[in-house]
Amino acid sequence: MANLKNIIMLVISFSLITTFAACTAKKTITHEEELLPINSIVVLPVEIKISGEDSQTDKVAKSLITGQEVLNDLLSEYFAGRENIRVLTEGQRNNMENNSTRCRTTDAVTICDTYNADAVLICTLHRYAEREGTEYSVIEPASVAFDLKLVMAKTGKTIWSGAFNETQEHMLTNIFRFMEKTKRGFKWITARDLAKEGLEQKFSKCRYLTK
């Protein structure tokens, strides 16, 4: 009988400890820092970056240029109707080249001053490989990698950043990401769809950019 009481006490104690830990974790997760005074943002055209290994590959260069156009379209679509966010075209960016420097952060601050913005969003595309095959059978799956950086004008400081790097896998390849993959259905998606997923995923985690 005494042993049974001891077991019951242990179970109750464990339950209380688990509940307390869960509550503590929940408070930590929901804690938010104070938002910075950012009322307007400029989005620069996507830049491309070719690594040393790929610099001589014409196919890679062409794919990146295609991906650059796709991501520019996706950014325009995502921020459409947002009065506080202005997406610059390649032409508008090129018109400022005479005043540009080799430092991207310095350029970002200059652009913010020109358009009276509080921050600038910089997107760099590192990889863009289109799916080879169909929705249900592929030779090579879609693969996309890019990074994002939001720079504050007054300080030149990066206040938010994100990176996306994914090559689509078969649903059963990585069981830990099974639920994420089921949203796509049982099919192989295009590089555009993968890039769109990546942008939306990253922007959803940024309070300045999320819808």
Residue type, 69: E
Which residues, including other chains, have CB under 8 Å from residue 59's CB and lie 6 or more apart?
none
Whole-angstrom distance, CA of residue 156 vs CA of residue 107? 9
Judge if 10 and 96 occupy the same domain. no
Q: How many domains, in total, are found in the chain? A: 2
Contact assessment for residue 131 and residue 66, using Cβ atoms and an 8 Å cutoff: no
Judge if 45 and 135 occupy the same domain. yes
pTM (2 d.p.): 0.74
Higher pLDDT, 78 or 32: 78
Each residue's pLDDT tens digit, 46-75: 999 876 665 557 888 899 999 999 999 999
Q: Does residue 104 register a pLDDT over 60?
A: yes
Residue 18 lies in a domain: yes
Q: Which domain range does residue 2 map to? A: 1-31
Judge if 23 and 45 occupy the same domain. no
Higher pLDDT, 162 or 60: 162
Residue 157 CA: distances (Å) to CA of 77, 104, 118, 181, 210: 27, 12, 12, 35, 20
Q: Does residue 175 register a pLDDT over 70?
A: no
Residue 192 lies in a domain: yes
What value does the mean pLDDT take over residues 118-129? Answer: 95
Judge if 101 and 178 occupy the same domain. yes
Q: Cβ of 171: how many Cβ atoms within 10 Å? A: 16
Judge if 66 and 16 occupy the same domain. no
Judge if 96 and 199 occupy the same domain. yes
Whole-angstrom distance, CA of residue 110 vs CA of residue 112? 5
Residue 126 lies in a domain: yes
Judge if 15 and 52 occupy the same domain. no
Q: Does residue 19 register a pLDDT over 50?
A: no
CATH, residue 139: 3.40.50
